[in-house]
Structure 1
């Protein structure tokens, strides 16, 4: 087989290239909780850092096979998987930051992530929210105690596109950990390593799994950050190559201590879904662009937020960053005299549900659901109006999606 294949070929053949039993093309699912050893010295060696499996809370052969695929997707050096994307985020923040540290974060972030930042504040971590689309705003938040910068590649639900390359360059200059949530862009549209990210977060529940049948998350180390310079790495994890220290601490604390473990069954489903990521994203991005163009001209739609439209504030940046498409998420603001709930109840193809990156197109009223607890003041800062709908576009036939909007808006 060739040493270097394309995105989909690499993922499709990932399992069998690492010698699967009996010639199978997929790694099997390993539901075992514990793993036995014939030699007690070997058992001790694995506990002391040698590669291997001891107890399923810290990983299984099934999660390990999925982690190889995610690492290949992101072009990183290693990956740790978690039960959910939020577990991956929590493990990253809680294991690498201490009381008194300072985190700079985009103000345009997922509501649950915003809530997690509130938890960090309660534990003594200083958090500054900034407009990550403007590198000067990020730079102005810097202080001596700053340890980390966090942003999403494409914001949910406003679709703001952060100045990803400039943030990466600046973090490298300041020796800061750059954490990129790549869930909405996916590694098919952009890889964090090309943008200078230190760690890349993916919610595997979304596009990578794609089928709405499994929860999961992952943290990938790109190999760009020198962990030997980071004071918060505990002494037991300062072994071997420094490039592994950060992820080792995240894994030990996030899986062993916190128990945010991905199940073997979920990992198996996500690994199978990952094989068609490129095909699904190509269709979803195409659908989203067609739908955005149509709705932007509709008299009952006040505004469409989608990076693929020339009217989007970061359109040119999105063209530069995302060569294959502009993502499958959009925000739609209906005109003021149109009742959001009446409109939603008329839809027949789109599903009223909270989730992203599914094969099916999903829609929900943002201010009344996932951002309700945030309150009107914070929603205003994030640009979330009461008439804003979030649409996660799936792989249906394009004409059926447009037709559903036509009949519902009528």
Structure 2
């Protein structure tokens, strides 16, 4: 379903129809799972045209697959981007996003408020590629600007940060990125394109862990990178993989030849080819089906989160609630600008009785599932300091909003009163 020359459909229509054509072979209405490794070429010239990127088509499922392609088109449409690349996980998406931009000795300026696994990936793992990260409090826009140097190649943040639900002032950070001639990469996992549209706010690239709210059912892992198609990769000379002859693809100048689709094609032709972080068609199928109800689920997630966070704020055992949807939050005023349909349903609570109370609280919950995930239809809980943020230093845990007395909640779409009753009994046990 193309919207380039046709009518401008609403989000709720696009989440069902974008990228989904009836199967030409069978007429199947739902996108089939194309469970195949390879695709037959018409002839030698057809094969050569595909490998030369002169024709778009299917070569080998490490690179392209019709089920995955449908998901890519849907995500690009929902985010307002030019193209998208899907991969095996959210962590893979982060590496894939940086891969065409970085080189040995270069750095990325990143927010201190990131998922613990991302902080670990940026602190240690990317150093094995010769890259590095500078972590900055993105509340301090001047500090972000000051952290940029001649070797900086990207700026990275989350629209709504995991675990605390902190909302980034994306337009302000985008202005800094534009002034420095750098791409802004925004992880939009917690918000989803239904609540936040980073590209419209100035982002260059959007990444997702599709595992979370997009799929919404806790069945498969996946990641995605959506390119705005608006960045001039040739302006500064800092991105030779895109602007100069690429030795990894017989000297092709991706930006010169492919224009707004340069980043997307590089991600497929080189990123997926060489890194192999491929999304399988079964995962793409589950995610496509999940996205069909995204707007309905996100509305319920937000409605439940507002009600439950408001109740938690008045509980005697709770020291603090970080939900940005509360008027007491210092980021409440950013909702109208960054995520006008709501602040999602991920936040933390700090318990007055500390670490041991957190452990007892988690163990006492009955409806909430104790898992290392978020964005499920089910309500989820985890003690970040001892799990997802365990690898970080105490200072990094504090900066990320994952102190020892903090528990992360991902509010699902169950009956809110049932969730409140479960939280109440568990908090009472934890503080007894």
TM-score normalised per structure 2: 0.91
Aligned to 2:307: 290
CA distance in 1, matches of 2:10, 2:425: 41
CA distance in 1, matches of 2:382, 2:362: 8
> Is the CA contact 2:165–2:343 (under 8 Å) kept in the aligned structure 1?
no
Q: Of the candidates 311, 319, 335, which is equivalent to residue 318 of structure 1?
A: 335
Q: Of the candidates 204, 210, 231, which is equivalent to residue 240 of structure 2?
A: 231
CA distance in 1, matches of 2:272, 2:365: 42
Q: Of the candidates 279, 286, 294, which is equivalent to residue 262 of structure 1?
A: 279
Q: Of the candidates 267, 272, 283, which is equivalent to residue 289 of structure 2?
A: 272
> Is the CA contact 1:128–1:141 (under 8 Å) kept in the aligned structure 2?
yes
How far apart are 1:86 and its partner, in Å? 0.8
Change beyond 3 A, Cα 1:366–1:307:
same
Aligned to 1:24: 28
CA distance in 1, matches of 2:405, 2:341: 30
How far apart are 1:195 and its partner, in Å? 1.2
CA distance in 1, matches of 2:20, 2:173: 38
Count of residues in Structure 1 that have an aligned counterpart in Structure 2: 410
Aligned to 1:365: 383
> Is the CA contact 1:20–1:27 (under 8 Å) kept in the aligned structure 2?
no
How far apart are 1:96 and its partner, in Å? 1.8
SS of 2:47's equivalent in the other structure is helix
Change beyond 3 A, Cα 1:122–1:15:
closer
Instruction: Give the unaligned 5+ runs of structure 1.
Output: none
Q: Which has the higher mean CA deviation after the structures are superposed, 392-401 or 87-96?
A: 87-96
How far apart are 1:15 and its partner, in Å? 4.6
C-alpha RMSD of the superposition: 1.7
Q: Of the candidates 359, 365, 372, which is equivalent to residue 354 of structure 1?
A: 372
Q: Does 1:328 align with 2:345?
A: yes
> Is the CA contact 2:371–2:382 (under 8 Å) kept in the aligned structure 1?
yes
How far apart are 1:5 and its partner, in Å? 1.4
CA distance in 2, matches of 1:186, 1:69: 13
Aligned to 1:132: 138
CA distance in 2, matches of 1:47, 1:209: 32
CA distance in 2, matches of 1:348, 1:123: 44
Moved over 6 A (4+): none
TM-score normalised per structure 1: 0.96
CA distance in 2, matches of 1:73, 1:384: 31
> Is the CA contact 1:133–1:160 (under 8 Å) kept in the aligned structure 2?
no
CA distance in 1, matches of 2:24, 2:39: 18
How far apart are 1:144 and its partner, in Å? 2.0
Aligned to 2:96: 91
How far apart are 1:227 and its partner, in Å? 1.8
CA distance in 2, matches of 1:352, 1:240: 49
How far apart are 1:231 and its partner, in Å? 2.7
Aligned to 1:409: 427
> Is the CA contact 1:135–1:163 (under 8 Å) kept in the aligned structure 2?
no
CA distance in 2, matches of 1:27, 1:20: 11
> Is the CA contact 2:335–2:343 (under 8 Å) kept in the aligned structure 1?
yes
Aligned to 1:41: 45
Q: Does 1:189 align with 2:207?
A: no
Change beyond 3 A, Cα 1:34–1:17:
closer
Q: Does 1:241 align with 2:258?
A: yes
Aligned to 1:75: 80
SS of 1:194's equivalent in the other structure is coil
How far apart are 1:17 and its partner, in Å? 4.5
> Is the CA contact 1:133–1:161 (under 8 Å) kept in the aligned structure 2?
no
Aligned to 1:302: 319
> Is the CA contact 1:15–1:26 (under 8 Å) kept in the aligned structure 2?
no
Instruction: Give the unaligned 5+ runs of structure 2.
Output: none
Q: Which has the higher mean CA deviation after the structures are superposed, 133-142 or 245-254?
A: 245-254
CA distance in 1, matches of 2:383, 2:208: 24
How far apart are 1:23 and its partner, in Å? 3.3
CA distance in 2, matches of 1:231, 1:359: 43
Change beyond 3 A, Cα 1:97–1:16:
closer
